[in-house]
Amino acid sequence: MDLQGKHALITGGGTGIGLDIARDLAARGAHVTITGRRQEVLDEVAGDNMTGMAMDVRSEEDVVAKIAAAVKAHGPIQICIPNAGIAEGKAVHKTDMEFWRNMMSTNLDGAFLTIRESLKTMRGTDWGRVIAISSMAGLRGLPGAAAYSASKHGMIGLIKSLAADYLGQPYTFNAICPGYVDTPIVSRNTASISERAGISEEKARAIMVNSNPHKRLIDVSEVTAAATWLTGPGSQSINGQCIQVTGGDM
Ligand code: NDP
Protein backbone atom coordinates (compact mmCIF):
# COMPACT_ATOMS: atom_id res chain seq x y z
CA MET A 1 0.00 0.00 0.00
CA ASP A 2 1.27 3.45 -0.91
CA LEU A 3 1.45 5.50 2.29
CA GLN A 4 2.14 8.78 0.50
CA GLY A 5 0.68 11.69 2.47
CA LYS A 6 0.35 9.70 5.69
CA HIS A 7 2.15 10.73 8.89
CA ALA A 8 3.40 7.92 11.13
CA LEU A 9 4.68 8.26 14.69
CA ILE A 10 6.89 5.56 16.21
CA THR A 11 8.11 5.94 19.77
CA GLY A 12 11.47 4.30 20.39
CA GLY A 13 11.95 4.55 16.62
CA GLY A 14 15.68 5.22 16.68
CA THR A 15 16.73 1.64 17.38
CA GLY A 16 15.74 -2.03 17.08
CA ILE A 17 12.18 -2.96 16.14
CA GLY A 18 10.95 0.63 15.94
CA LEU A 19 13.68 1.68 13.51
CA ASP A 20 13.06 -1.27 11.20
CA ILE A 21 9.32 -0.50 11.08
CA ALA A 22 10.09 3.20 10.53
CA ARG A 23 12.30 2.40 7.54
CA ASP A 24 9.59 0.22 6.01
CA LEU A 25 6.90 2.89 6.42
CA ALA A 26 9.20 5.60 5.03
CA ALA A 27 10.08 3.41 2.04
CA ARG A 28 6.36 3.05 1.36
CA GLY A 29 5.93 6.84 1.25
CA ALA A 30 4.83 7.83 4.75
CA HIS A 31 6.48 10.67 6.63
CA VAL A 32 7.72 9.04 9.82
CA THR A 33 8.39 10.85 13.09
CA ILE A 34 10.64 8.73 15.27
CA THR A 35 11.14 9.48 18.94
CA GLY A 36 13.36 8.42 21.82
CA ARG A 37 15.18 10.09 24.67
CA ARG A 38 18.49 10.50 22.81
CA GLN A 39 18.39 13.11 20.02
CA GLU A 40 21.85 12.07 18.81
CA VAL A 41 20.66 8.50 18.16
CA LEU A 42 17.66 9.78 16.23
CA ASP A 43 19.79 12.24 14.21
CA GLU A 44 22.03 9.39 13.08
CA VAL A 45 19.19 7.45 11.46
CA ALA A 46 16.79 10.20 10.38
CA GLY A 47 16.77 11.28 6.74
CA ASP A 48 14.40 11.54 3.82
CA ASN A 49 10.85 10.98 5.03
CA MET A 50 12.06 10.49 8.61
CA THR A 51 12.30 13.12 11.36
CA GLY A 52 13.87 12.46 14.75
CA MET A 53 12.34 14.16 17.78
CA ALA A 54 13.50 13.68 21.38
CA MET A 55 10.51 12.86 23.59
CA ASP A 56 10.39 11.07 26.91
CA VAL A 57 7.21 8.98 26.92
CA ARG A 58 7.10 9.08 30.74
CA SER A 59 6.38 12.82 30.68
CA GLU A 60 2.84 13.90 29.84
CA GLU A 61 4.02 17.46 29.26
CA ASP A 62 6.69 16.31 26.81
CA VAL A 63 4.38 13.94 24.91
CA VAL A 64 1.63 16.55 24.57
CA ALA A 65 4.01 19.30 23.38
CA LYS A 66 6.12 17.15 21.04
CA ILE A 67 3.22 15.40 19.34
CA ALA A 68 1.52 18.76 18.80
CA ALA A 69 4.74 20.04 17.17
CA ALA A 70 5.03 16.93 14.96
CA VAL A 71 1.39 17.30 13.85
CA LYS A 72 1.94 20.97 13.05
CA ALA A 73 4.92 20.06 10.88
CA HIS A 74 3.65 16.92 9.14
CA GLY A 75 -0.10 16.67 9.63
CA PRO A 76 -2.40 14.38 11.63
CA ILE A 77 -1.00 11.09 12.82
CA GLN A 78 -2.63 8.27 10.92
CA ILE A 79 -0.22 5.51 11.94
CA CYS A 80 0.64 5.44 15.63
CA ILE A 81 3.11 2.86 16.90
CA PRO A 82 3.76 2.96 20.65
CA ASN A 83 6.93 0.90 20.74
CA ALA A 84 9.21 2.63 23.29
CA GLY A 85 9.91 0.28 26.12
CA ILE A 86 12.28 -1.01 28.71
CA ALA A 87 12.66 -4.65 29.71
CA GLU A 88 14.28 -5.70 32.92
CA GLY A 89 13.70 -8.64 35.20
CA LYS A 90 13.36 -8.54 38.97
CA ALA A 91 11.75 -10.95 41.44
CA VAL A 92 8.58 -9.43 42.92
CA HIS A 93 9.91 -9.60 46.50
CA LYS A 94 12.87 -7.47 45.37
CA THR A 95 10.82 -4.99 43.33
CA ASP A 96 10.63 -1.54 44.89
CA MET A 97 8.14 1.14 43.84
CA GLU A 98 10.74 3.05 41.87
CA PHE A 99 11.44 0.04 39.64
CA TRP A 100 7.72 -0.77 39.29
CA ARG A 101 6.71 2.82 38.50
CA ASN A 102 9.46 3.29 35.94
CA MET A 103 8.38 0.13 34.13
CA MET A 104 4.70 1.15 34.12
CA SER A 105 5.48 4.74 33.30
CA THR A 106 7.61 3.85 30.28
CA ASN A 107 5.75 0.86 28.86
CA LEU A 108 2.12 1.52 29.79
CA ASP A 109 1.70 5.23 30.59
CA GLY A 110 3.92 5.98 27.58
CA ALA A 111 1.72 3.92 25.25
CA PHE A 112 -1.43 5.51 26.68
CA LEU A 113 -0.16 9.09 26.30
CA THR A 114 1.18 8.47 22.80
CA ILE A 115 -2.09 6.92 21.64
CA ARG A 116 -4.24 9.56 23.34
CA GLU A 117 -2.43 12.50 21.75
CA SER A 118 -2.25 10.79 18.33
CA LEU A 119 -5.93 9.83 18.38
CA LYS A 120 -6.96 13.45 18.89
CA THR A 121 -5.60 14.11 15.40
CA MET A 122 -6.37 10.72 13.78
CA ARG A 123 -10.07 11.10 14.61
CA GLY A 124 -10.41 13.87 12.03
CA THR A 125 -9.16 11.62 9.20
CA ASP A 126 -10.71 8.78 7.22
CA TRP A 127 -8.12 6.08 7.97
CA GLY A 128 -5.93 5.19 10.94
CA ARG A 129 -3.85 2.42 12.41
CA VAL A 130 -2.65 2.02 16.00
CA ILE A 131 -0.16 -0.82 16.46
CA ALA A 132 1.21 -1.32 19.96
CA ILE A 133 4.41 -3.30 20.34
CA SER A 134 3.56 -5.44 23.35
CA SER A 135 5.26 -8.80 23.94
CA MET A 136 4.61 -12.50 24.35
CA ALA A 137 4.97 -11.51 28.03
CA GLY A 138 1.74 -9.52 27.54
CA LEU A 139 -0.12 -12.77 26.94
CA ARG A 140 1.38 -14.95 29.65
CA GLY A 141 3.56 -14.69 32.73
CA LEU A 142 7.29 -14.31 32.33
CA PRO A 143 9.32 -15.81 35.17
CA GLY A 144 11.37 -13.18 36.99
CA ALA A 145 9.80 -10.27 35.09
CA ALA A 146 6.40 -9.56 36.69
CA ALA A 147 6.56 -5.79 36.29
CA TYR A 148 7.46 -6.04 32.60
CA SER A 149 4.78 -8.67 31.99
CA ALA A 150 2.13 -6.63 33.84
CA SER A 151 2.97 -3.51 31.78
CA LYS A 152 2.73 -5.47 28.54
CA HIS A 153 -0.59 -7.08 29.60
CA GLY A 154 -1.84 -3.53 30.27
CA MET A 155 -1.03 -2.45 26.72
CA ILE A 156 -3.19 -5.25 25.37
CA GLY A 157 -6.13 -4.24 27.58
CA LEU A 158 -5.78 -0.71 26.26
CA ILE A 159 -5.71 -1.85 22.62
CA LYS A 160 -8.68 -4.20 22.97
CA SER A 161 -10.74 -1.49 24.69
CA LEU A 162 -9.90 1.05 21.97
CA ALA A 163 -10.95 -1.44 19.28
CA ALA A 164 -14.28 -1.75 21.12
CA ASP A 165 -14.61 2.03 21.56
CA TYR A 166 -14.09 2.79 17.87
CA LEU A 167 -15.97 -0.19 16.44
CA GLY A 168 -17.21 0.45 12.92
CA GLN A 169 -14.92 3.44 12.39
CA PRO A 170 -12.06 3.48 9.87
CA TYR A 171 -9.38 3.00 12.53
CA THR A 172 -7.97 -0.26 13.84
CA PHE A 173 -6.15 -1.04 17.08
CA ASN A 174 -3.89 -4.07 17.31
CA ALA A 175 -0.92 -5.31 19.26
CA ILE A 176 2.11 -7.20 18.04
CA CYS A 177 3.49 -9.64 20.60
CA PRO A 178 7.02 -10.74 19.73
CA GLY A 179 9.11 -13.45 21.35
CA TYR A 180 12.83 -12.72 21.79
CA VAL A 181 13.99 -10.45 18.96
CA ASP A 182 17.62 -9.70 18.14
CA THR A 183 17.81 -6.04 19.28
CA PRO A 184 19.70 -3.91 21.83
CA ILE A 185 17.18 -4.93 24.54
CA VAL A 186 18.21 -8.59 24.21
CA SER A 187 21.89 -7.64 24.33
CA ARG A 188 21.29 -5.64 27.53
CA ASN A 189 19.25 -8.50 29.03
CA THR A 190 22.02 -10.95 28.20
CA ALA A 191 24.39 -8.93 30.35
CA SER A 192 21.92 -8.51 33.21
CA ILE A 193 20.79 -12.18 33.29
CA SER A 194 24.42 -13.24 33.22
CA GLU A 195 25.19 -10.98 36.18
CA ARG A 196 22.10 -11.90 38.23
CA ALA A 197 22.33 -15.65 37.62
CA GLY A 198 26.12 -15.79 37.81
CA ILE A 199 26.35 -17.51 34.41
CA SER A 200 28.29 -16.65 31.28
CA GLU A 201 26.80 -14.23 28.72
CA GLU A 202 26.81 -17.12 26.22
CA LYS A 203 24.59 -19.18 28.54
CA ALA A 204 22.35 -16.20 29.27
CA ARG A 205 21.82 -15.61 25.54
CA ALA A 206 21.11 -19.34 25.03
CA ILE A 207 18.27 -19.09 27.61
CA MET A 208 16.55 -16.46 25.45
CA VAL A 209 17.30 -18.22 22.15
CA ASN A 210 15.89 -21.49 23.50
CA SER A 211 12.76 -19.74 24.84
CA ASN A 212 11.66 -19.17 21.24
CA PRO A 213 10.06 -22.39 19.93
CA HIS A 214 12.21 -22.37 16.79
CA LYS A 215 15.36 -21.99 18.91
CA ARG A 216 16.63 -18.81 17.31
CA LEU A 217 16.24 -15.11 17.90
CA ILE A 218 13.62 -13.45 15.74
CA ASP A 219 14.86 -10.91 13.21
CA VAL A 220 13.42 -7.38 13.40
CA SER A 221 12.21 -7.77 9.81
CA GLU A 222 9.86 -10.54 10.98
CA VAL A 223 8.18 -8.11 13.39
CA THR A 224 8.09 -5.44 10.70
CA ALA A 225 6.30 -7.88 8.39
CA ALA A 226 3.36 -7.93 10.80
CA ALA A 227 3.28 -4.13 10.95
CA THR A 228 3.50 -3.93 7.15
CA TRP A 229 0.47 -6.21 6.92
CA LEU A 230 -1.49 -4.15 9.46
CA THR A 231 -0.76 -0.93 7.55
CA GLY A 232 -1.39 -2.51 4.17
CA PRO A 233 -4.53 -3.04 2.10
CA GLY A 234 -7.15 -5.46 3.32
CA SER A 235 -6.34 -5.21 7.03
CA GLN A 236 -9.45 -3.21 8.00
CA SER A 237 -11.12 -6.30 9.53
CA ILE A 238 -8.16 -7.13 11.76
CA ASN A 239 -9.05 -5.20 14.90
CA GLY A 240 -8.44 -5.68 18.61
CA GLN A 241 -6.02 -8.55 17.95
CA CYS A 242 -2.69 -9.63 19.39
CA ILE A 243 -0.47 -10.92 16.63
CA GLN A 244 2.19 -13.23 18.00
CA VAL A 245 5.56 -13.15 16.26
CA THR A 246 7.11 -15.87 18.33
CA GLY A 247 7.82 -18.87 16.11
CA GLY A 248 4.95 -20.78 17.75
CA ASP A 249 3.00 -20.89 20.97
CA MET A 250 5.47 -20.26 23.76
P1 NDP B 1 15.42 -1.17 21.90
O2 NDP B 1 16.10 -1.00 23.20
O3 NDP B 1 16.22 -1.05 20.66
O4 NDP B 1 14.18 -0.16 21.80
C5 NDP B 1 13.60 0.49 22.86
C6 NDP B 1 13.40 1.94 22.46
O7 NDP B 1 12.61 2.61 23.43
C8 NDP B 1 14.71 2.71 22.33
O9 NDP B 1 14.76 3.34 21.07
C10 NDP B 1 14.67 3.72 23.45
O11 NDP B 1 15.29 4.93 23.05
C12 NDP B 1 13.17 3.90 23.66
N13 NDP B 1 12.82 4.32 25.01
C14 NDP B 1 13.06 3.68 26.18
N15 NDP B 1 12.61 4.40 27.21
C16 NDP B 1 12.07 5.54 26.69
C17 NDP B 1 11.45 6.69 27.24
N18 NDP B 1 11.29 6.84 28.57
N19 NDP B 1 10.98 7.63 26.39
C20 NDP B 1 11.14 7.50 25.06
N21 NDP B 1 11.72 6.44 24.47
C22 NDP B 1 12.19 5.48 25.29
O23 NDP B 1 14.74 -2.61 21.93
P24 NDP B 1 13.59 -3.25 21.04
O25 NDP B 1 13.57 -2.70 19.69
O26 NDP B 1 13.72 -4.69 21.24
O27 NDP B 1 12.28 -2.80 21.84
C28 NDP B 1 11.16 -2.18 21.23
C29 NDP B 1 9.89 -2.68 21.91
O30 NDP B 1 9.74 -4.08 21.62
C31 NDP B 1 9.90 -2.55 23.43
O32 NDP B 1 8.65 -2.06 23.87
C33 NDP B 1 10.07 -3.99 23.90
O34 NDP B 1 9.49 -4.24 25.15
C35 NDP B 1 9.35 -4.74 22.79
N36 NDP B 1 9.75 -6.14 22.71
C37 NDP B 1 11.05 -6.49 22.46
C38 NDP B 1 11.41 -7.82 22.41
C39 NDP B 1 12.81 -8.27 22.15
O40 NDP B 1 13.11 -9.45 22.39
N41 NDP B 1 13.69 -7.42 21.65
C42 NDP B 1 10.41 -8.88 22.64
C43 NDP B 1 9.07 -8.39 22.87
C44 NDP B 1 8.77 -7.07 22.90
P45 NDP B 1 16.11 5.84 24.11
O46 NDP B 1 16.92 4.91 24.94
O47 NDP B 1 16.92 6.76 23.27
O48 NDP B 1 15.07 6.57 24.88
pLDDT at 50: 98
CATH architecture of 7-179+219-244: 3-Layer(aba) Sandwich (3.40)
Q: Which ipTM was obtained for this model?
A: 0.99
Ligand 1 mean position, distance from CA 84 (Å): 4
Of residues 103, 111, 102, 166, the one with CA closest to residue 134: 111
62 lines ligand 1 (CB under 6 A): no
227 lines ligand 1 (CB under 6 A): no
Residues 182-225: tens digit of each pLDDT? 998 988 889 888 888 899 999 999 999 999 999 999 999 999 99
Residues 6+ away with beta carbon under 8 Å from 109 = 57, 58
Q: How far apart are CA 66 and CA 208, in angstroms?
A: 35
Q: How far apart are CA 112 and CA 118, in angstroms?
A: 10
With 80 as the cut, is the pLDDT of residue 1 above it? Answer: no
Ligand 1 mean position, distance from CA 250 (Å): 21
Ligand 1: which atom is nearest the Cα of residue 220? 25
H helix or E strand, kind and range, residue 159:
helix 146-165
Residues 229-246: tens digit of each pLDDT? 999 999 999 999 999 999
Q: What strands lie across the sheet with 7-11, from one edge to the other?
A: 50-54, 31-36, 7-11, 77-81, 128-133, 171-178, 242-245
- pTM for the model stands at 0.97
178 lines ligand 1 (CB under 6 A): yes
Ligand 1 mean position, distance from CA 14 (Å): 9
Ligand 1 mean position, distance from CA 219 (Å): 15
Residue 148 appears among annotated catalytic residues: yes
Domain ranges of the chain: 7-179+219-244, 184-217
Of residues 166, 139, 168, the one with CA closest to residue 154: 139
Pocket probe for ligand 1: among 9, 10, 11, 15, the residue whose CB has the most ligand atoms within 8 Å is 15
